[in-house]
Amino acid sequence: MNTADHPDTPPAAHPDALFDAGWLGLRAAADRAARAAHLEARLSGWLRTRLAGTVRALRIVDLGTGSGANPRHLAPRLPGPQRWTLIDHDPGLLDRARLACAELRSAGGEAVEVAPLHRDLQLAASAFTGADLVCASALLDLVDAHWLELLAGSCAAARCAVLVTLSVDGRWRFIGTPQPRPDPEPDSADDAFVRAAFNAHQRRDKGLGPALGADAAATLAERLRAHGFTVHCAPSPWRLALADPTQARLARALIDGWRDAAIEQCPDARARISAWHARCVAVRLQAGVVLEVGHLDVLGLPAETTHRERAETP
């Protein structure tokens, strides 16, 4: 991957783009269960075809790698050998990722090399020269339309595949809320209000322009198609069974975050939002309830290159 256009030390990240290891660990199991496995299988087949007739390793770039959940999940599901570049602005998380990925093997048991790269996510046209796959997980809601156009254009120039997973789609619902409830109508109205306030908050600038939030995955699919990619999309919702203590903790963290963001977006509605939150805690966060949180996975495959072109790729 070409990194000459990027500084060695990234500028300070926007506070809304910082994620601690505790949050990443809390969501890890839900992420693994939600991923669209058939897209991973399709990608694996495409990469095998791309490698046919060569002896080199796959070259994979992971954007916003965090503590390394994406390579830990994908590397054993893709052909090998593999060389991963792990990009993040947080050196502490990058070190965690390096350690967590040290013993990875490919689907065939081949070696997987990882190279952490401490830098921001500003993209250049030549950012992915030589890459076979660019991937990311739970990232797109932070970026703007221009960044997605740069991503699609850079991947088209490199003729590499794109797999972006677990992008929020702005939808969530509680399934199996205990009945009877004293008045179900206020919750449905307040759900919609809080959801709209949170989704609006997601569109704030987080250091990469006015964020697209819940519209980001669909926008990426559109931009990839415009650059000639064949695009496959699949829902990848979290389904948090609140009878499970770990999933219940994640659900509580989510509704706390929705409350805080909604109040920040609509401070005049603090009382209404706080009352909604209290009802969720009292009525919904209990055994027998499932919290479904919508996500979307996007796979983009460029037109295949010839064996000779692959062999000549630097």
Give me the pLDDT at residue 124, please. Answer: 75
Question: What letters, b where the CB count within 10 A reaches 16 and e where it falls short, cover 154-167?
Answer: bbbebbbbbbbbbb
For residue 80, what is the domain's CATH number?
3.40.50.150
Q: In this structure, is residue 1 part of a structural domain?
A: no
Q: In this structure, is residue 301 part of a structural domain?
A: yes
Give the closest residue to 163 by CA, choosing from 21, 51, 301, 19: 301
Q: In this structure, is residue 88 part of a structural domain?
A: yes
Give me the pLDDT at residue 2, please. Answer: 54
The pLDDT profile of the chain, 314 residues, written as one tens digit per residue, is 554 444 455 554 444 444 567 877 888 899 999 999 999 999 999 999 999 988 899 999 999 999 999 999 999 999 989 999 999 989 999 999 999 999 999 999 998 999 999 988 888 777 799 999 999 999 998 899 999 999 999 999 999 999 999 999 999 999 986 554 544 455 689 999 999 999 999 998 877 778 899 999 999 999 999 999 999 999 999 999 999 999 999 999 999 999 999 999 999 999 999 999 999 999 888 888 999 999 999 999 998 654 444 444 44
Give me the pLDDT at residue 179, please. Answer: 55
Give me the pLDDT at residue 313, please. Answer: 44
Structural domains counted in the chain: 1
Q: In this structure, is residue 153 part of a structural domain?
A: yes
Domain range for 246 is: 15-312
Q: In this structure, is residue 3 part of a structural domain?
A: no
Q: In this structure, is residue 43 part of a structural domain?
A: yes
Cβ neighbours of residue 204 under 8 Å, at least 6 residues apart? 16, 210, 211
Q: In this structure, is residue 6 part of a structural domain?
A: no
Give me the pLDDT at residue 229, please. Answer: 98
pTM of the model: 0.87
